[in-house]
Amino acid sequence: MRLFRSIEEAAASGALRGGALAIGNFDGVHLGHRALLARAGALAGGRGAVAGVLTFDPHPVQVLRPSLAPPLLTSLPRKLELLAEGGVEVVVVQPFDLPYAATPAAAFVERDLGRLGVGDVVVGWDFTAGHERARVEALRPLLAARAITLQVVEPVTEGGLTVSSTKIREFLLEGNAEGAALLLARPYDLDGQVARGAGRGRGLGFATANVETGALLPAQGVYAVRALVGGGTAGGPGAAAHAGVCNVGVKPTVDVSGQVAAEVHLFDFDGRDLYGEAIRVAFVARLREERRFPSVEALRSQIAADAGRARALLGTTG
């Protein structure tokens, strides 16, 4: 996959000339986004052209309404990885700031899409462009004047639900990992780095990796997870795969700080020092809510039971 860090850079390369371009934020690269990618791929493939994506960084809401900006489902590196897995050949990441946000829709079409030379633009039904937030029907004649066909993808539903990044966040904040996975077509995962902790898990007989991340944490509780550890970058080549359990919360039985954190106990792990290593944690199912236990021994017993349930659910033995 070819990556360009601006529309100007991509236009100078000619990489998208005659191609089909899907436009959006693609946070999560969920089933709705995949429908856009599939439409662009089909249009481009039908004439031997390139299928591409135009996305923006940072997310426009983080620039325009930072106090209202939701936590993102995917970091930019993870988004690019998922787009590549979706068969995208070219990705353009346009820097988004207040001056760019002031661009009128007509200028966006003429200056940006026109010089890319694409033949088709693919957007979702709720797409808007320009500082006036022009909707798809207002964009159609602007694009037609540049001999660009506008393709609009209708809402995608799964299990009777309209797929959206907002709904996926709602599921995660409810602890519904399975619901989020249904709309994402994969378990929700977050990338981070293993940070040094207090070592309480090791003292309980269940050593944990403390995950330092800026990503959205699901609701507090204990989850069955799959993790990739090492590899230089989260999920990178050479990362080791492990099943495990993850506690998201404040550890009320052993910690009085009240700070929410994610700690992962990896099954069948060799015990080597992981501090500073990259980690990706995929949340498969919530096992229970976090709660305070009357004693450390009761907590140790519950962790063992959680690990047993997670092993059964994830199909591992131990």
Asked if pLDDT for residue 258 goes beyond 90, the answer is no
Model pTM score:
0.92
168 in a structural domain:
no
Tell me the pLDDT tens digit for each residue of 35-92: 999 999 999 999 999 999 999 999 999 999 999 998 999 999 999 999 999 999 999 9
Residue-range definition of the domain harbouring residue 30: 2-158
Contact 94, 57 (CB under 8 A): yes
255 in a structural domain:
yes
Contact 249, 286 (CB under 8 A): no
Percent with pLDDT over 90 in the chain: 84
Asked if pLDDT for residue 253 goes beyond 70, the answer is no
One domain for residues 143 and 252: no
173 in a structural domain:
no
Closest-CA residue to 264 (of 292, 242, 244, 284): 244
- What pLDDT was estimated at residue 255? 58
Final residue before a domain boundary, out of 108, 143, 158: 158
Query: 279 is written with which tokens?
Result: 């980690």
Burial of 272 from C-beta contacts in 10 A (0-12 / 13-18 / 19+): exposed
One domain for residues 154 and 217: no
One domain for residues 12 and 130: yes
205 band by pLDDT with thresholds 50, 70 and 90 = low
One domain for residues 22 and 150: yes
Query: 164 is written with which tokens?
Result: 């959206």
301 in a structural domain:
yes
Which residues does 126 contact at the CB level (< 8 Å), separation at least 6? Answer: none
Percent with pLDDT over 70 in the chain: 94
214 in a structural domain:
yes
DSSP string of 24-46, one letter each residue: S--SS--HHHHHHHHHHHHHHHT
> What is the b/e burial string over 115-151, where b = at least 16 CB atoms within 10 angstroms of the residue's CB?
bbbbbbbbbbeebebbeeebbbeebeebbeeeebebb
- What pLDDT was estimated at residue 18? 96
Report the number of distinct structural domains present in the chain: 2
Asked if pLDDT for residue 251 goes beyond 60, the answer is yes
Asked if pLDDT for residue 198 goes beyond 70, the answer is no
Closest-CA residue to 32 (of 122, 121, 124, 120): 124
One domain for residues 20 and 59: yes
Mean pLDDT, the chain, integer: 93
309 in a structural domain:
yes
One domain for residues 15 and 115: yes
250 band by pLDDT with thresholds 50, 70 and 90 = confident
Asked if pLDDT for residue 202 goes beyond 60, the answer is no
Asked if pLDDT for residue 154 goes beyond 60, the answer is yes
Tell me the pLDDT tens digit for each residue of 108-122: 999 999 999 999 999
Q: Domain containing 262 — which CATH number?
A: 2.40.30.30
183 in a structural domain:
no
One domain for residues 101 and 192: no
- What pLDDT was estimated at residue 260? 86
Q: Domain containing 58 — which CATH number?
A: 3.40.50.620
- What pLDDT was estimated at residue 199? 57
Instruction: Please compute the mean of the pLDDT values over residues 121-133 and round it to a whole number.
Output: 96
